[in-house]
Structure 1
Amino acid sequence: MDLLTVPQVMARLQLGRTAVYDLIRTRQLASITLGRARRIPTPALADFIHTRLEEEAAA
């Protein structure tokens, strides 16, 4: 399992730093802390995207 940095997630989702940290803060995007570094597991990012796609399809 790969761990992504916040800037990597920002690039993949094409969102700003604040938006990514808001997703983490509201627990929409799972993350772990290693020391002072925040990392997002690739499966967590895939789950987030999948959930959003399902929500869009249901709307």
Structure 2
Amino acid sequence: IFERFQVQCDAKHVKNHLRTVKNQWQIICTIRAESDFGWDENMKMITCGRATYDAIVMT
């Protein structure tokens, strides 16, 4: 990794980053499972209507 990106890392940092990614992925899966949310395959992002956004996301 250092040779390619000039970034120092060790096993502890890699494990911590993996834990962070797993937690974020779990949040994405939970949101996508809700009936008012969708997935835009072209943009690779979660979608929802304005009412859903205002009621759920902004609270």
Could you state the TM-score of these two structures normalised by the residue count of structure 2?
A: 0.31
RCO higher in 1 or 2 (8 Å CA, sep ≥ 6)?
Answer: 1
Greater C-alpha radius of gyration: 2
Could you state the TM-score of these two structures normalised by the residue count of structure 1?
A: 0.31
